[in-house]
Amino acid sequence: MNFRKTLTIMTILFLFFTIDAFPLSPGEKARQNYQFTLLLIRTFRIPVENFAPQEALGEYDKIKEAFFAAREHFYGRNYVEAQNQYMSMKLNLIPFAADLTQNYLTRTKEILDMAAKDTEELLFDFTKSTPILRDIRKPYDPIRREEVYTGKHTPQNYHLFHNGRIIETYIREGYAAYYQAKNFFDDPEIEYIRQNEKRTSSEIDYVLERYMGIIRLSRTAKQLGIEAFKLYNLSKLSEMSEKHENLNLHNIDPTYDERIPEQFRVDAVDNRNLVYKGKKDSSSQP
């Protein structure tokens, strides 16, 4: 390798490892804060509309007003004032986002616990090795006048012998995502930053990024629990198709999906990042 190539590589490496050491200009700081706070406003909008109580809606509106006020200074190239207002806005967002994500965690646990409770019999009565399955499959002998089996295993839930393992996987993966989100929420570093009066803008961003991550993980966990309900109640599809002639069985609006417990249909809609338009159950409020 000649000297010129060596010098070029060394220059690139120097710039790569030292670029963060140079302070950002006020304009670049304001630009980054504009993009980040806009992401926060967008991320929290649907959760607020679906789950926040009335007083929190007013608080969210004030946070949006603060964003637009800071944006005015950013557009006007008054970067120092824009940076100060973005900082104040993010500080106000921390307790607001904490309450919102706590509600997500609570509802996620409720969904998974109900799904696990409703399907716990799958581990015992709907395995392929259960003696009852062999009796159900045995041909009926009319000469011996054997009685037709009329126990808990019916034509409507026979599919559970095949789908039980999938449902159990949904619940297992749902709890895994829930506890990952909970660990994010309980992160001691977050509490340290919240209590530290000398916290930096990047530290505040870290906390808010964690809260956005909690919402994403909670939605994943809730959807896994909802998929468990949908598969467990698979037989309700025929009832729904008879009731609604134009029902699209491949993409049912969660608002009207009777396989999902009614109090959790708002969560199924929220998981799609959409606003729930049906009647909200009182338990959807924090």
Q: Is residue 15 part of a domain?
A: no
User: Within a domain: residue 98?
Assistant: yes
**Residue 186, in any domain of the structure:** yes
Q: Exposure pattern of 171-187 as b/e (b: 16+ CB <10 Å)?
A: bebbbebbbebbebbee
Residue 129 counted as domain residue = yes
Residue 262 lies in a domain: yes
For 247, half-sphere exposure in the C-beta direction (CA atoms, 13 angstrom radius) is: 18
Distances (CA, A) of 218 to 103, 162, 190: 10, 28, 18
In-domain check, residue 63:
no
Specify if 274 maps to a domain: yes
123: containing domain: 94-284
- Structural domains in the chain (count): 1
pLDDT tens for the chain, 286 residues long, are 555 555 555 555 555 554 444 567 888 999 999 999 999 999 999 999 999 888 889 999 999 999 999 999 999 999 999 999 999 999 999 999 999 999 999 999 999 999 988 776 665 565 565 656 555 555 555 555 555 444 565 655 655 656 778 888 999 999 999 999 999 999 999 999 988 888 898 999 999 999 999 999 999 999 999 999 998 888 787 777 777 667 777 778 899 899 999 999 999 999 999 999 976 664 444 3
- Whether 131 maps to a domain, the answer reads yes
Q: Which two tokens stand for residue 274?
A: 């959409």
